[in-house]
Amino acid sequence: MQNTSFRAIKTALKSFKNILIVSHFSPDGDAMGSSLALYHYLLGLDKKVTVAVPNEYPDFLKWLPGNQKVLVYTKDVKKIEKVIQQCDCVFTLDFNTLSRLEDFGNSLKKCGKPFFLIDHHQQPDDYAKFQLHRVEACSTCELIYDLIVGLGDKSKIDKKIANCLYTGLMTDTGSFRYPSVTSKTHAIIADLLKTGIVPSDIHAAVYDNYSYDRLKLLGYCLSEKLKLIGGNQIAYFKISHAELQNFNFKKGDTEGLVNYPFAINGVKICAFFNEAPEGYIKISFRSKGKLDVNKFARLYFNGGGHKNAAGGKSQMSLTDTVAEFEKKAVSYFKLK
């Protein structure tokens, strides 16, 4: 499907008063940042707006302006079902298949309301009436910035919106270091800084807030759990539920951990496997350069994402999942 013109989006928005914004399971900085930036922007257009996500998100995102209004499907299901009935349209942000909403997606699939898809992941499903999709965008926050500017409302980007957008741009680019970063990324950041936001405060709020247990878990993973295969070019961690419990695991405690082995010279693929509380194995994949973990995750692990950052799931045991990964990854990526 083609992207919708800003003109058509502007016209459509005029007829929508009550708007629901949703983002993906296990929301990250880009999911929450883009949803809350759009929330503040639409409130400024005098809309009635609700942000709802499938499950809890990490504490390090709870300082974002508007956080206290966010509904979470696992605890606010009744309220959310009511909003689904009452809303005029649904914005789906930072994902491109309704299955990324888990149970929440089943409710939305049958609601019959028009969907907006705003996303930068590869191969979007065809469920949206309106679409703003660009794989080259470093984050969904970049697309929300484009949307607001495209609708002629750049002057409406205030400190609240800028704080939210900065967070998503920062977290989805690994603090401005991934290949997705372009001059445009930095030009947007320059614009956002003009609102008076303080980047060092945002970095500190998101990254300098580990619990003692979280830092110990990182140390444990690095010293005890890291395994290298494929001629030391593939690195992975495998963590059981019990091990996580030893460090009083909380949502977000393993965020970013998958990237650490890239610090080793020669590592091209990183993976992280953990037993999720939901009862399956949650997997994160990362890669360098041309190696495509989106395709790999889609092919073998019921997942997807971006070329260099993807996720997946397995219903097998942790041990069997990792055995399967070892077998498939070495041959798929031709690393020996």
Nearer residue to ligand 5GP within complex by CB, 37 or 87: 37
Closest approach, Cβ 81 to ligand 5GP, in A, equals 24
Closest approach, Cβ 306 to ligand 5GP, in A, equals 6
Burial of residue 313 (number of CB atoms within 10 Å: 0-12, 13-18, 19+)? middle
Nearer residue to ligand 5GP within complex by CB, 40 or 306: 306
One-character DSSP codes across 223-245: III-EEETTTTEEEEEE-HHHHH
What are the CA-CA distances from residue 252 to residues 27, 78, 127, 274 (Å)? Answer: 10, 26, 30, 13
Q: Are 74 and 57 a contacting pair, CB within 8 Å? A: no
The binder of 305, among Mn ion, ligand 5GP, none, by C-beta within 5 to 8 A per type, is: ligand 5GP
Measured CA to CA, the distance from residue 117 to residue 125 in angstroms comes to: 9
Residue 51: which of 109, 94, 110 has the closest Cα?
94
The binder of 24, among Mn ion, ligand 5GP, none, by C-beta within 5 to 8 A per type, is: ligand 5GP
Closest approach, Cβ 23 to Mn ion, in A, equals 9
DSSP 8-state symbol, 265: T
DSSP E strand boundaries for 121-194: 130-133
Nearer residue to ligand 5GP within complex by CB, 6 or 210: 210
Nearer residue to Mn ion within complex by CB, 94 or 292: 94
Measured CA to CA, the distance from residue 119 to residue 257 in angstroms comes to: 24
Residue 336 CB contacts under 8 Å (≥ 6 apart), including other chains: 230, 231, 330
Closest approach, Cβ 326 to ligand 5GP, in A, equals 19
Closest approach, Cβ 312 to ligand 5GP, in A, equals 5
Q: Give the other-Cβ count within 10 Å of 302's Cβ.
A: 15
The binder of 284, among ligand 5GP, Mn ion, none, by C-beta within 5 to 8 A per type, is: ligand 5GP
Closest approach, Cβ 250 to ligand 5GP, in A, equals 16
Name the site residues for ligand 5GP (rule: CB under 6 A).
24, 95, 97, 100, 121, 284, 303-306, 309-313
Nearer residue to ligand 5GP within complex by CB, 21 or 197: 21
Measured CA to CA, the distance from residue 333 to residue 315 in angstroms comes to: 23
Name the site residues for Mn ion (rule: CB under 5 A).
30, 94, 139-140, 172
The binder of 261, among ligand 5GP, Mn ion, none, by C-beta within 5 to 8 A per type, is: none
Closest approach, Cβ 19 to ligand 5GP, in A, equals 22
Measured CA to CA, the distance from residue 287 to residue 308 in angstroms comes to: 5
Nearer residue to ligand 5GP within complex by CB, 83 or 258: 258
Nearer residue to ligand 5GP within complex by CB, 13 or 297: 297
Q: Are 64 and 167 a contacting pair, CB within 8 Å? A: yes
The binder of 134, among ligand 5GP, Mn ion, none, by C-beta within 5 to 8 A per type, is: none
The CA-based dihedral angle spanning residues 107, 108, 109, 111, taken in that order and rounded to the nearest 10 degrees: 100
Closest residue to ligand 5GP, based on beta-carbon distance:
311
